[in-house]
Structure 1
Amino acid sequence: MALTAADGQRLREDKPLVLITTSETGQHITALNTAARGMGFRPGMTLADARAIHPALQVAHADPAGDERALIRLALWCQCYSPFTRADPPDGISLDITGCAHLFGGEAGMMENISKRLSGFGLSARLAIAPTIGTAWGLARHAPDPCHISHPRKLRDDLAPLPIAALRLSPEIRRALEKLGLKRVGDLVDKPRAPLAARFGSQLMRRLDTAMGYEEESFTPLSPPVSHVAECRFVEPIITRKGVEIAVERLTRDLADMLEKAGKGARRVELRLFRIDGWFETVPLATSTATRDPHHLCRLLCERLDRIEQRAGFGFEAARLSAIQIEDKPAQQEDMDGPVHDSGRNDISPLLDRLVNRFGPDRVTRALPCPSHIPERAFRFVSVLEKTGTPDWPAHARTVQDGADFARPLLLLAPPEPIIAIAEAPDSPPARFEWRREPHRVTRAEGPERIAPEWWRTHEDASRTTRDYYRVEDEAGHRFWLFRDGLYERAGNAPRWFIHGIFA
């Protein structure tokens, strides 16, 4: 089932008011209130002609971008009636209310509820419910009564008296049909299809077939379809954090049951709290791994409710928890005589999720291998919330080291820090070096491990010289990872020394 609302703002009905846009051909009326329409003004009329009729006409400039934002916001608000809504610019909203009407006492009860609440916002609306999107669209805009419900058996009779504009045709096709005397939908229904298609193209037949239900029409909502949703409505509006937390506890439990039955886990969930004044508050949540632990989800969501009482307005009347992104998560049994459960004993995902919840996703990261021989390029950090496979670090180390088994330091300095080094021979490890004004005498050294530059890189920070790395140990037992940047050559500057890491 589809529901469409065509809305317009109720502005000072006692005085004529028009909205205008400015173009190369002058200023034209794009919208007007009831009082202005009663005086004979129409969209498309020039402002000069309108002023000539009524000099005291109230005029305001139209804001199409603002109107579109407001329409999308209203479509989002309508998600308290159905999770699948979309804006139909310039003045309409469509909802897929399949399986939702019974929550409001049926289709008539839902329509009455929507009309009453829109009226409370200062908006007048024409509403229609029909089996197809096209019929609902046409009835909402062209039916004689402002609220209309159509059923499959009445579909043909409801469409027949409507003007052909109800079929969402292009202006050119409408004008051509009207010239032939085909002004109503009923004039087209019984006409031979082949001549109509040959003269007016496929658009006419497609619009007619989708309106009559002969052909399916896709519906793309603002939010992607979600198959796992838990909802609850409150007898009285709630404004306290404690009340919201109780609702969250119930919703996470219901959602976890749905996910468990489906063998799924949630990576991203979204909590929406619908206020009685028409707006809603959104609390998004992402986890590092798929989970369906209700206690874990409840704890994370409740940690994000710090200022919910200040944002409650006159109270929340409903809440919805949706699993936006899900993954397969079969149950596991670790012991022969143990219970079946979801997470392992050594799983640190709950800890990571709490850290992300506290510090943000960009501050809690994990390292991933990168195909580069340059040590500082051999890895990258990504948020723990980013979905990645399990990295094979030993295989990565063998790849970047060409199969050799060179030790790598636990701490890598970024960027490498320059040192003053003295070597006994040009190609030998340093005998002593000074780092951060602290002298170190080398007692043991291993190397070199030569790493050539990545000549295929073109950006400025790419290394252009060959590096010789040494693992050295000083008199105090401290172990360092040093490298000589460049080779000793007859021409050119002498190589520089750097410290790149510290071994444990």
Structure 2
Amino acid sequence: MGTGSREDNASRQNNLACIVVAKQNNALQISALDDAAAHLGLEIGQPLANARAICPQLRVFDADEAADARALNVIADWCDRFTPLVALDSPHGLFLDITGCAHLFGGEAALMQIICEALTRQGFAVSAGIAGTSICARTMTRYVSGKIIRDGAEADAVWPLPVFALGAEDAIIRGLRRAGLKTIGDVASRARHEITARFGADFTTLLEQALGQGDAPISPRKPLPDYIVEKRFPEPIATEGVIAATLSRLAQMLVTAMDQQGKGARRLEAGFFRTDGAVRTIVIDTGQPVTRSGVMDRLFRERLDALNDPLDPGFGFDLIRLSASRTEIVVQQQRDLDANVHDNDELAALIDRIAARIGGRRVVVHLPQDTHIPERAVLAAPAQHQLAAAMHATWPARVEGEPPLRPLRLFEKPEPIKVPFATVPDGPPHHFTWRRANHAVVRVEGPERIAMEWWKHNGQTLTRDYFRVEDEAGLRFWIYRDGLYGSERVTEEGKPAPPNWFVHGLFA
């Protein structure tokens, strides 16, 4: 009876055993495994052939590092609800700086329990620990879960742990074991210069950080916002009215906090945390510092109404957070009775609303550039950030009564035209073909010679001769010849080649 039971258990383990393999050193090795595979004696780093010899019915999956990275980032987004300081510990770990946050969840033990239980319900295997240094906490989680190490007790906590808990390279771990150093305490009892001479300074630094004798600062995924306000719900919310009302209250709280220091928000981020772990973040940039909650409400309404993928609450949001990730000091300006003084503010508000709906990169202003190259004479810049520069920009003056020197419509990329070589003197063509339409030139103005910037073109110093031409139908074109006629281009036979002609813009 007992033998049959053991065989049944072994059979169930064989059916459930799963491993993930990755190619390392030109061989497939185990990179991850489940509990059933571990009970069979399989280990990470073991060759796949050896694993199949132990368990022929093993279920094998190929490693997908990109998918693992995406999943880790999703978990990190979910962990933002507990602290804004979340750092990646690739490939499978996260660091959470919970300094000053644990009391909001009933203490460190309660916070760790909440996180572990929630991630377990989502289908993840979790090992967690809390310590004064990040390396000590990570070392503990590699061997035991749920431990809280008080400050100053790091060395005592990691002393009995096996050396693999340090997370060093496999070659170092094998070297330690061959030397008879099986625990972290065995390694720590040796002189530091001995450890450094054999295993390197990086390993010595790692050992000291695990013992609490040094610390490695974490690098959070996102910079800490200047101001954060949030609302947690005992029961998830899903209705648009409640969500909008919550955002409005949070906006008022945010404005009050910023007003105490005389600041306004230039970038707002609203985070919506669903009960199933999904997180949705909406970002809004503004051209001027925002100091009124009503403006924030209007911008978020515009952004939410323009979403291609509506804000899906699923089973509801249990946390809504509003933060100002970029702020500026608000300069109080004295206003007079002239209504034109407020035009700039109204224009900036209009740009913010349009940018919130269609995106800030699609609302641009044009700035003049100090160059004579036509396609580089204008720079399209985001209107929210360059509105003041555009309003004070100085454009080339136009002579009164003279026709425009530049076309009303300038092509982003000049389009080639066909010109009969036999009819091309050292001036403009009499006929040309553009977009499969023939044009007979009846009037010409030019040429206007423009030389390329030789220091930016790798020695190519082609010049352009621009002509303003009009065809028999009254259409006016801005065309140019690329290179001097018969001097800068030659054929394979060494004869002068016809220059290339392009149309660069239209006057009407």
Length-normalised TM-score, structure 2 = 0.74
Structure 1 pair 345–93 and aligned structure 2 pair: CA distance change class (3 A):
same
Residue type at the aligned position of 1:379: V
1:262/1:175 CA distance change after superposition, 3 Å: farther
Structure 1 residue matching 2:234: 3-state secondary structure: strand
Provide the residue aligned with 1:111 in structure 2.
112
Equivalent residue for 1:17? 17
- Indicate the SS of the match to 2:366: strand
Asked whether the equivalents of residues 16 and 34 of structure 1 are also in contact (C-alpha less than 8 Å), the reply is no
Amino acid at match of 2:43: R
Worse overlay, 385-394 or 146-155: 385-394
Rounded Cα–Cα distance in structure 2 between residues aligned with 1:212 and 1:54: 39
Structure 1, residues 190-214: CA drift from partner, whole Å, max 9, x if none?
Answer: 5443443344332233123323443
CA distance in 1, matches of 2:221, 2:33: 28
The whole-number CA distance in structure 2 between the counterparts of 1:492 and 1:165 is 73
1:217 positional shift: 1.3
Q: How many residues align?
A: 458
Superposed displacement of residue 22, structure 1:
6.1
SS of equivalent residue, structure 1 residue 123: coil
Return the alpha-carbon distance in structure 2 between the equivalents of residues 50 and 231 of structure 1: 50
Deviates more, 1:125-134 or 1:83-92: 83-92
Asked if 2 retains the 8 angstrom alpha-carbon contact of 1:373 and 1:451, the reply is no
SS of residue in 2 equivalent to 1:111: helix
- Partner of 2:36 in structure 1? 35
Letter in 1 for 2:206: R
Matching of residues 385-424 of structure 1 within 5 Å: 385-386=384-385, 390-391=389-390, 395=394, 397=396, 412-415=408-411
2:82 maps to amino acid? Y
CA deviation vs aligned residue, 1:385-430 (integer Å, no higher than 9, x gap): 45576258665537xx9x9998968982224999xxxxxxxxxxxx
Q: Do the aligned residues in 1 keep the contact of 2:21 with 2:61 (CA within 8 Å)?
A: no
Residue number in structure 2 paired with 1:266: 265
Quick check: 1:197 aligned with 2:196?
A: yes
SS at match of 1:226: coil
Q: Higher helix fraction: Structure 1 or Structure 2?
A: 2
Deviation (angstroms), 1:256? 2.5
Unaligned runs of 5+ in 1: 1-11, 338-342, 419-435, 471-479
Equivalent residues in 2 for 1:23-422, closer than 5 Å: 23=23, 27-143=28-144, 146-306=145-305, 311-324=312-325, 326-335=326-335, 346-347=344-345, 348-374=347-373, 377-386=376-385, 390-391=389-390, 395=394, 397=396, 412-415=408-411
Q: Secondary structure, in 3 states, of the residue corresponding to 1:319?
A: strand
CA deviations on 1:42-95 (whole Å, 9 max, x unpaired) are: 334444444444433333333233222212221222111111223323322211
User: 1:334, CA displacement in angstroms?
Assistant: 1.2
SS class of match (2:173): helix
Amino acid across the alignment from 2:313: A
Q: CA contact under 8 A between 2:365 and 2:386: conserved in structure 1?
A: no
SS in 2 for 1:117: helix
Q: Secondary structure at the match of 2:142?
A: helix
Deviations 1:1-34 (A, max 9, x none): xxxxxxxxxxx97833222436486544333222
Partner of 1:265: helix, strand, or coil?
strand
- Alpha-carbon shift at residue 99 of structure 1 (Å): 1.7
User: 1:289 is paired with a residue of what secondary structure?
Assistant: strand
Counterparts of 1:393 and 1:408, CA distance in 2: 22
SS in 2 for 1:116: helix
The answer to whether the 8 Å contact 1:238/1:316 transfers is yes
Give the gaps of 5 or more residues in structure 2: 1-11, 418-436, 470-474, 487-495
Counterpart residue type for residue 412 of structure 1? L
* CA deviation profile, 1:209-235 (whole Å, cap 9, x unmatched): 323443331211222232322222112
Relative to structure 1, is the Cα distance of residues 345 and 381 closer, same or farther in structure 2, using a 3 angstrom cutoff? closer
Deviations 1:324-382 (A, max 9, x none): 3x253323131499xxxxx9563121100111223333432101111223555421222
Contact 2:135 2:209 in 1 (8 A): yes
8 Å contact kept, 1:85–1:221: yes
CA RMSD of aligned residues (A): 4.6
Q: What is the distance in 1 between the residues matched to 2:175 and 2:298?
A: 63
Greater Cα offset, 75-84 or 159-168: 159-168
CA shift for structure 1 position 40: 2.5
Measured in 2, the distance between the counterparts of 1:332 and 1:407 equals 45
Greater Cα shift, 267-276 or 192-201 = 192-201
Instruction: Give the partner amino acid of 2:183.
Output: R
Alpha carbons of 1:179 and 1:408: their partners in 2 closer, same or farther (altered >3 Å)?
Answer: same
3-state SS, counterpart of residue 260 of structure 2: helix
Pick closer, same or farther for the CA change 1:152–1:501 going to 2, 3 Å.
same
Per-residue CA shift, 1:134-170, capped at 9, x if unaligned? Answer: 1100111123xx2111110322221222223333333
Task: Give, in whole Å, the separation in 2 of the partners of 1:229 and 1:162.
Answer: 40
Q: Structure 1's 229 and 408: CA in aligned 2 closer, same or farther, altered over 3 A?
A: farther
Q: Which amino acid aligns with 1:358?
A: R
**What amino acid is the match of 1:91?**
H
Output the CA distance in 1 between the equivalents of 2:209 and 2:409: 65
Structure 1 distance, partners of 2:447, 2:27, is 76
- Secondary structure at 2:117's aligned position in 1? helix
> Percent identity among equivalent residues?
31
State the partner residue of 2:434.
none
Aligned residue for 1:312, secondary structure, equals: coil
TM-score calculated relative to the size of structure 1: 0.75
Indicate how the Cα distance of structure 1 residues 69 and 467 shifts in structure 2: closer, same or farther if over 3 A, else same.
Answer: closer
State the match for 2:452 in structure 1. Answer: 454
8 Å CA contact 1:231, 1:319 repeated in 2: yes
Do the aligned partners of residues 25 and 501 (structure 1) sit closer, same or farther apart at CA in structure 2, a change above 3 Å counting?
Answer: closer
Label 1:232 to 1:413 Cα distance change in 2 as closer, same or farther (>3 A): same
State the alpha-carbon separation in 1 of the partners of residues 13 and 290 from structure 2.
54
